[in-house]
Amino acid sequence: MKVAVLGFHHESNTFAPVAASLEQFMSAGLVEGERLITDFVDSHATLAGFIEAGRSSVDVEMTPLIYADLNPMGTITAEAFEVIVGRMLDQLREQGPWDAVLLALHGAAVAEHIRDVDGEILERIRNLVGATVTIGATLDMHANISQRMARIPTVVNTYMTNPHLDAKVRAFQCAELVFRTVRGEIVPVAAFEALPLIVNILRQGTSDVPMRDLVELARVAEQRPGVLSVSLAEGFPYADVEEMGMSALAITDRDPELAREIARDLAEATWAVRSMLQGDGVAVDEALRRANESPRGPVVLLDVGDNVGGGSPADSTHVLAAARRLGVTGVFHSLCDPQAVELCRVAGLGARVAVRAGGKTDRMHGDPILIAGVVRHLDQGRFEEPTATHGGKRFFDAGPRAVVVTGDGYTILLTSRPMGNTSLQELLSAGIDPLAQRIIVAKGVQSPRGAYEPIAAAMIQLDSPGCTSAAVTSLPYKHRRRPMYPYETDALY
């Protein structure tokens, strides 16, 4: 069985200021050929699940092609999409024919000229390989699943945890189902239910009610005889596209009725708790006061407005400025600011510096803030996270970094690339002990939880401004469906 493995992974925040250009994809690194195996085999990411499934099946010969993965940011440029997807198609054409194709997709990618990027990739691949080739795709739980995405692959599933700790497990399931299909052991049939509904980023955690219960429903349904896979996508409300929103997907073995029943039941159960799926963050000043009064640290403040995993620039200074204004100290805070890093590097280790950092991408994320203190650490920003944190990533590259400890009680980690604070190794590798901080500002909502929940005295979701603000009803949508809940509270399903 000859199987191609490839992927295109981007979560596009169409409200974010920085476009996902070809240059951005290139600097993040396109992984091709054998490197796809060596880079991912020991990770917990989607590709690791595909690789493991391939290795545990003696009749499978896997061919790693190309994998493009870029941190969430703005809309993908037409050039980036056409060049990268063109290369994916070229490789499939040149190295085929195939029995199966395994794809690591996100499901919430948007390009300037194509809003349903993942559906478009699937359609182009289907047109190239033909109707008889088995295609499997594993999507992020934040996928905005379109009819094309649900219909074109033979097998499609999503992660079922947020933070995403099961990417590898779900990809393994997808690959196994693909192999069994090629062997003729099963005939997957899918049913798909798109809900006119979003789950607010603050309520997306799958260990919290009500998402926990919905995921459990899906898991129970997946155990029923004849059922191959059940997914519940949370969707990504920061992508302004028609298919934006939650959806349920069920795959059975030759039983369309059962698939329809399961997808429908899961969608109805989700719709029934729609008001519980909404939420507001805590005002920044109030959260800082609470954290300041906590007898024990670290209290982790989740900067929802600058949620790097949702496409924001990682240089918002709103929370840091508020902490300084309120005199709340003992705070760890990271900021993406390559210029500030360079100034620290030139000054050197142990030097006193005064730099204006952060708040440089746009006005939505605050103004540059004065960081005056001593450069305590300089490095190239590469670190490794051996445990399964959000998305299962193992190797991180923050670009050149500097740590400045200020005279007024702040530990500032300056990075050259946007970093979402999802790994304790991020701090440890920069000589910072997370447990010694009173307050840690993490630029994320769900994604920092894998790393920080085990050590945090408390975690507080902030109502902080930015392009990933929890106040989604005020985002200027042009393309989403109407009516949708909670934008239109009288929406029906």
Which positions touch Zn ion (CB under 5 A)?
140, 142
Classify burial at 454, counting beta carbons within 10 Å of its beta carbon; exposed 0-12, middle 13-18, buried 19 or more: exposed
CB atoms inside a 10 Å sphere around CB 474: 7
- Nearer residue to Zn ion within complex by CB, 142 or 449: 142
Residue 400, amino acid? P
- Nearer residue to Zn ion within complex by CB, 69 or 140: 140
DSSP 462: B
- Nearer residue to Zn ion within complex by CB, 44 or 142: 142
Tell me the closest approach of the beta carbon of residue 331 to Zn ion, in angstroms: 27
Classify burial at 450, counting beta carbons within 10 Å of its beta carbon; exposed 0-12, middle 13-18, buried 19 or more: buried
Tell me the closest approach of the beta carbon of residue 204 to Zn ion, in angstroms: 9
- Nearer residue to Zn ion within complex by CB, 188 or 309: 309
Torsion of CA 406, 412, 414, 415, to 10 degrees: 160
What is the torsional sign of CA 36, 125, 229, 216? positive
Tell me the closest approach of the beta carbon of residue 358 to Zn ion, in angstroms: 25
Tell me the closest approach of the beta carbon of residue 141 to Zn ion, in angstroms: 5
- Nearer residue to Zn ion within complex by CB, 16 or 414: 16
Distances (CA, A) of 110 to 158, 247, 409: 18, 18, 41
Tell me the closest approach of the beta carbon of residue 11 to Zn ion, in angstroms: 6
- Nearer residue to Zn ion within complex by CB, 126 or 142: 142
Q: What order do you get walking across the sheet with 331-336 strand by strand?
A: 352-357, 369-379, 401-406, 410-415, 331-336, 439-442, 299-302, 458-461
- Nearer residue to Zn ion within complex by CB, 7 or 358: 7
Tell me the closest approach of the beta carbon of residue 105 to Zn ion, in angstroms: 12
- Nearer residue to Zn ion within complex by CB, 140 or 306: 140
- Nearer residue to Zn ion within complex by CB, 234 or 240: 234
- Nearer residue to Zn ion within complex by CB, 129 or 244: 244
Tell me the closest approach of the beta carbon of residue 159 to Zn ion, in angstroms: 7
Tell me the closest approach of the beta carbon of residue 391 to Zn ion, in angstroms: 7
- Spatial distance between the Cα atoms of 236 and 228, rounded to a whole number of angstroms: 25
- Strand pairing of 134-139 and 401-406? unpaired
- Spatial distance between the Cα atoms of 178 and 183, rounded to a whole number of angstroms: 9
Tell me the closest approach of the beta carbon of residue 396 to Zn ion, in angstroms: 17
Tell me the closest approach of the beta carbon of residue 187 to Zn ion, in angstroms: 30
- Nearer residue to Zn ion within complex by CB, 91 or 200: 200
Distances (CA, A) of 195 to 72, 140, 218, 483: 24, 17, 16, 11
Spell out the residues 6+ positions from residue 327 whose beta carbon is closer than 8 angstroms to its own.
none
> Of all residues in this chain, which one has the CB nearest to Zn ion in the complex?
142
Query: Under a CB-based contact definition with an 8 Å cutoff, are residues 121 and 85 in contact?
Result: yes
Query: Under a CB-based contact definition with an 8 Å cutoff, are residues 277 and 388 in contact?
Result: no
N- to C-terminal Cα distance for the chain? 43
Q: Helix (H, G, I), strand (E, B), or coil: what is residue 373? A: strand
The residue assigned the tokens 């995403």 is 164
Classify burial at 295, counting beta carbons within 10 Å of its beta carbon; exposed 0-12, middle 13-18, buried 19 or more: exposed
Residue 31, amino acid? V
Tell me the closest approach of the beta carbon of residue 311 to Zn ion, in angstroms: 11
